[in-house]
Amino acid sequence: MALYMKAAEILEKAERKQGALKTLVYDSKFANIKQLFALVCETQKFSSILVEIIETTKLLKQTKLRLPLAKVLVYDLLMGQGLKCGGSWKAMMMKHRSRLQAVLARMKVKQKVSNNEDLLPAKRPASSRGPAAQICACEHPEDHRGGCRGLPEEGWLCLPGTSLQVGGSNPEGEILCEGHAPARAAGLLS
């Protein structure tokens, strides 16, 4: 029971941007940090699915639970290791179990998936542009942090989304490569 209360409290704080999940879990001084962290992370991972299940079944209205606690309990009942509590919460959740499972099953059928992980929204690639590089002329020799020397004045090759900034005094002609792929940019420019 304490596990679910603490997990719900952490989820609520995280939603209000009062800290990162990991920080909130470790600051809680809960006896079993690993168990709490796993429950909180997995509940948050499936949050959108859990909210949809809870709203569809009108669980909050029928049980008078707050949303963060309901999410934690529904996650552990349907997707986790099963409820690890007894008493009134377990009895209440077991009463609603078949409806909750039916809604989850309908969601899987509707999206044509067989496991819970496949219900999660597809991750989109971080960048469809490929590696990015920003090449800047150094202002002073002591600012040099790596890069390449002796570049020709013509034949510059820039990757999509790169910016070339030239300005200021650069007596040594040094180049600074920044971004996601400085080594690749340096290789292209040499």
CA distances from 141 to 124, 144, 170, 185 (A): 41, 6, 8, 20
For residue 183, what are the domain limits? 133-189
Q: Based on the fold, state whether residues 166 and 111 are members of the same structural domain.
A: no
Q: Based on the fold, state whether residues 97 and 138 are members of the same structural domain.
A: no
Q: Based on the fold, state whether residues 22 and 44 are members of the same structural domain.
A: yes
pLDDT tens per residue, range 29-41: 888 899 999 999 9
pLDDT tens per residue, range 159-185: 555 555 554 544 555 554 455 445 555
Q: Based on the fold, state whether residues 19 and 58 are members of the same structural domain.
A: yes
d(CA 177, CA 148): 8
Q: Based on the fold, state whether residues 139 and 60 are members of the same structural domain.
A: no
Structure tokens at 64: 């008078």
How many structural domains comprise the chain? 2
